[in-house]
Structure 1
């Protein structure tokens, strides 16, 4: 097995933390993957991966080798694309990730359009409300909500999403409308990880936090909104996620004048991918889409306001 293929196998095993999953994704037998890693470690004279019956973890030297392998493979891919003249025309696979509701409402239509326009392009779209690390999981482009911790990424802002609290009219009629954030302690709370995985909710321009005790915790906005519509409690979501439900009067805004400032929605990618035709065509398409269709917000008076930094 050549060195480049061995690098690809190592990167896949390290990224998936699993020999079996790496073998499945690369369409290789588990024995081939295991033997390849052993041969690399024997050649280097070091242990790259600590194996147990339950997990596969990188060693310190393994982490260094992983970063170098990714750089080498990416440089090779870019060199091959340039020499074939492929940068001028999107082709191959583009890996995109986005939060579930944002992806379904705003990203999937863009993906569909690009697939119609570029027959040689394939897109692997992953919709997930958990944070995805571009380097570790092989993602080319991520549509993100909130401030990005990785300052090395290029991340133009597409728009703003306002955090809002919502509950069903029936719940509020039964339990009353909270007059201030501290009153949430006497209400049933629905928590989901897509906007905040902790029990501290920020309020006001100074983002002062109030601790809440959830009665229901879910891992996605869809479930939180459905539970809120069913009268289970008060949920903290983002404006675009509940726009239709509020206007259909299935949900009512709560404590709107106390809410924290909007958070950015951005399209993020690695600086070294700036020359990729696939990344470039997606970023251009999504920025144009948000310029033409800015996210609509609820202001303090519960009226719609278009806010669109994508023109910057």
Structure 2
């Protein structure tokens, strides 16, 4: 059998987690999928999948091969698109990921504009507050906030944000405005975390870095909840500047200790490094880069 065909079948089995699912996805019969995997394993001399009556699990060797096979199959698809015409209208499936609140505020409006412009594209948006493995989860484009690890991905910087402290004007009027980080220990703290009942907030100043360990009165697992608690006048919270920019602008929240803010965090659009760029990926990145770089809250 053709090697690329065998790779395509293997990727489908790995993605679907079953031979039947891969068969449906590829429009093949389950026995044909089974024969293709057997042929690939015989060619490689390596066991790629562990099979039981109910489950299919990728072996360690199979996982390494699966990552490479995904990349190769994707690049071949992109090469086909490129040779078909660089000016061809974008089409097909696009998968995008971003942090939850950033996705809601900044990425979703871009997705809506993109879908309205290109009717032959469908988009899956994964808005998650964790780093998604783009290869394993089939993601085309990701928005990352913070320093990037070394990887085979390409990254385009589109802006930056800051870690800021904020509280409602009513709370600050009743309890006073902290003049330095150590003053926070006398205040009610709202922390968006699911890791520890205590938090350590780090600050920068002219005379060096400073860390303050705090015992939050309220721990929440979402940034939205921390924002609502701060708006309600409970206490001081720490978030990223874009998450509260509108509320600070409207006066519902007020920044605290701005002189002690740490260095800004970069925002990048990340995508798989490839010799060819699928039209749907290129066009979406171009649109999102333009929109994010023009947003005053990300400058």
Query: What TM-score do the two structures reach when normalised by structure 1?
Result: 0.75
Contact persistence 1:160–1:264 (CA under 8 A):
yes
Contact persistence 1:129–1:193 (CA under 8 A):
no
Task: Quote how far apart the aligned CAs of 1:95 are.
Answer: 0.9
2:222 aligns with 220
Structure 1: gaps (5+ residues) = 297-306, 308-312
Within the alignment, does 1:156 sit opposite 2:159 as a pair? no
Look at both structures and tell me which one has the larger radius of gyration over its CA atoms.
2
1:92 aligns with 92
The 3-state SS of whatever aligns with 1:105 is helix
Task: Give the one of 8, 12, 27 matched to 1:9.
Answer: 12
The 3-state SS of whatever aligns with 1:138 is coil
User: 5 Å matches for 1:72-111?
Assistant: 72-85=72-85, 88-111=88-111
The 3-state SS of whatever aligns with 2:135 is helix
Comparing 108-117 with 81-90, greater Cα deviation is found at: 81-90
Query: What TM-score do the two structures reach when normalised by structure 2?
Result: 0.78
Structure 2: gaps (5+ residues) = none
Query: Structure 1, residues 265-309: CA drift from partner, whole Å, max 9, x if none?
Result: 11111111752211211121122223433326xxxxxxxxxx3xx
1:277 aligns with 279
Within the alignment, does 1:235 sit opposite 2:240 as a pair? no
Given the superposition, is the C-alpha separation of residues 110 and 257 from structure 1 closer, same or farther in structure 2, using an over 3 Å criterion?
same
Given the superposition, is the C-alpha separation of residues 251 and 87 from structure 1 closer, same or farther in structure 2, using an over 3 Å criterion?
same
1:310 aligns with none
Give the Cα–Cα distance (whole angstroms) in 2 for the partners of residues 116 and 152 of structure 1.
31
Task: Quote how far apart the aligned CAs of 1:91 are.
Answer: 0.8
2:212 aligns with 210
1:46 aligns with 47
Given the superposition, is the C-alpha separation of residues 73 and 211 from structure 1 closer, same or farther in structure 2, using an over 3 Å criterion?
farther
Task: Quote how far apart the aligned CAs of 1:188 are.
Answer: 3.1
Contact persistence 1:9–1:36 (CA under 8 A):
no
1:300 aligns with none
Contact persistence 1:129–1:219 (CA under 8 A):
no
Task: Quote how far apart the aligned CAs of 1:38 are.
Answer: 12
1:302 aligns with none
Contact persistence 2:202–2:262 (CA under 8 A):
yes
Query: Structure 1, residues 113-157: CA drift from partner, whole Å, max 9, x if none?
Result: 221221212222222222222122211111121111244322111
2:166 aligns with 166
Give the Cα–Cα distance (whole angstroms) in 1 for the partners of residues 64 and 202 of structure 2.
38
Give the Cα–Cα distance (whole angstroms) in 2 for the partners of residues 223 and 273 of structure 1.
43
Query: Structure 1, residues 83-115: CA drift from partner, whole Å, max 9, x if none?
Result: 433673311111111222222222222212221
